[in-house]
Structure 1
Amino acid sequence: MSVAEGLKGARAELEQLPALQKIRKAVQLSVIISQELFGSLLQIPYGFRAFRTYHSLPKAALPGASKEDAVTLIRDLRYASGERCVIDLYLPPGKDLSKTFDDDTGTPAALFCHGGVWSTGSKWHYAPMAKRMAQEGVLVGVMQYSLYPQAMVPRMVDEVGAALTWMMDNAQRYGASSDRVSLLGHSAGAHLCAMALLQRAPIAAGSKEGRAGGGEDARMPQQFIGMAGVYDVSQHYLYEEARGVAKLSTMERAMGGSAGFAALSPSQLLAEAAWRHRQHAERRQLEGLRGERLSQRIGLDHDLDGPLPPVTAPGESPAAPVLSQKDMAALPPVFLLSGMKDTVVPWYESAEFALRLRDAGVPVKKLTYKAADHGTFVTGWRAKNGPARPEDGLPDPCEDTLEIIKRGHSSVAFPRSLSVGTLDSAGKGSASLLEEFGAGADSPEQIKACTDPPEEPSAGAPA
Structure 2
Amino acid sequence: MAGLVYHTSIPLVVGVVLVGLPYSISLAVQWIYGWPDEPGCKKYIEALKPRRIYRLTRAVFQTLKYLQYGRLYFQWKSWYKNSGNYKYCQKGITFGRRANKLDLYHPPNMGKSEDVTVPLVVFIYGGTWGSGERSMYCLLAKQMAEELNATVICPDYCTYPKGNVLGMVQDIADCLVWAQDSGQKFNYSKDHIVLIGHSAGAHLCALTTLFLIDTREELFIEASKQRNVTRAIRGVIGLSGVYNIMDHYEHERKRGVEYISSMHKAMNGVKNFVYYSPTHLLKQLSQDKLSRVPPFILLHGTSDVIVPVESSTKFSELLNSLSVKASLYLLPRVDHTEIVTDLMAPGRHFYHPVYSCMKQEYRKVLGLC
Q: 2:325 aligns with which of 340, 363, 373?
A: 363
Contact 1:135 1:383 (C-alpha < 8 Å) held by counterparts:
no
Amino acid across the alignment from 2:33? K
Is 1:95 aligned to 2:110, yes or no?
yes
Query: Is 1:72–2:102 an aligned residue pair?
Result: no
2:33 aligned with 1:8, yes or no?
A: yes
Deviations 1:207-234 (A, max 9, x none): xx95448998553411111111100000
Classify the secondary structure of the residue corresponding to 1:115. coil
Q: 1:240 to 1:53 in 2, by over 3 A?
A: same
Pair 1:335-2:350 in alignment: no
- Partner residue, 1:177: 189
Contact 1:210 1:218 in 2 (8 A): no
Q: 1:18 aligns with which of 45, 49, 53?
A: 45
Change (3 A) 1:42 1:391: closer
Question: 111-120 or 39-48, which moves further after superposition?
Answer: 39-48
154, 162, 165: which one aligns with 2:177: 165
SS in structure 2 of the partner of residue 88 of structure 1: strand
Contact 1:221 1:332 in 2 (8 A): yes
What does the per-residue CA deviation read over 1:257-314, in whole Å, with 9 as the maximum and x for residues that have no partner?
Answer: 11000000001222xx3xxxxxxxxxxxxxxxxxxxxxxxxxxxxxxxxxxxxxxxxx
Matched with 2:238 is 226
Look up the match of 2:213.
Answer: 201
- Matched with 1:269 is 281
- Alignment-derived partner of residue 160 in structure 2: 148
TM-score w.r.t. length of structure 2: 0.81
Task: Give the residue type in structure 1 aligned to 2:127.
Answer: G
* 8 Å Cα contact 2:192-2:366 kept in structure 1: no
Task: Tell me the secondary structure at the aligned position of residue 181 of structure 1.
Answer: strand
Partners of 2:197 and 2:275 in 1: CA distance: 20
What do the CA deviations read for 1:432-461 (whole angstroms, capped 9, x no partner)? xxxxxxxxxxxxxxxxxxxxxxxxxxxxxx
TM-score, length-scaled by structure 1: 0.65
Evaluate the alpha carbon distance shift between residue 264 and residue 182 of structure 1 in structure 2; reply closer, same or farther with a 3 A threshold.
same
Change (3 A) 1:169 1:10: same
Partner residue in 2 for 1:110: 121
Question: Aligned equivalents of 2:296 and 2:366: distance in 1?
Answer: 9
Partner of 2:79: 53
Q: Measure, in 2, the Cα distance between the counterparts of 1:171 and 1:191.
A: 25
Aligned residues: percent identity?
A: 27
**Counterpart in 2 of 1:433?**
none
SS in 2 for 1:180: strand
Taking structure 1 as reference, are residues 56 and 252 closer, same or farther at Cα in structure 2, changes over 3 Å only?
A: same
Q: In structure 1, what is the Cα distance between the partners aligned to 2:240 and 2:82?
A: 29
Q: 2:108, 2:145 within 8 Å by CA — same for their partners in 1?
A: yes
The question of whether the paired residues in 2 share the 8 Å contact of 1:108 and 1:406 is answered with no
Query: Which residue of structure 1 aligns with residue 137 of structure 2?
Result: 126
What are structure 2's unaligned runs of at least 5 residues? 1-27
Shift of 1:255: 0.5
Structure with greater helix percent: 2
Q: 2 CA distance for matches of 1:128 and 1:336?
A: 22
Contact kept? 1:187, 1:345, Cα under 8 Å: yes
Do the aligned partners of 2:234 and 2:365 also contact (CA within 8 Å) in 1? yes
- Corresponding residue SS for 2:191: helix
Q: Report the Cα offset of residue 108 of structure 1.
A: 2.2
TM-fit CA distance, 1:18: 3.1
Say if 1:171 and 1:178, in contact at 8 Å, map to a contact too.
yes
Tell me if the contact between 1:32 and 1:245 (Cα under 8 Å) persists in the aligned partners. no
In 2, the alpha carbon distance for the partners of 1:214 and 1:405 equals: 23
Q: What is the alpha-carbon distance in structure 1 between the residues aligned to residue 29 and residue 204 of structure 2? A: 23
- 1:65 corresponds to which residue? none
CA contact (8 A) 1:59 1:74 kept: no
Aligned length in residues: 336
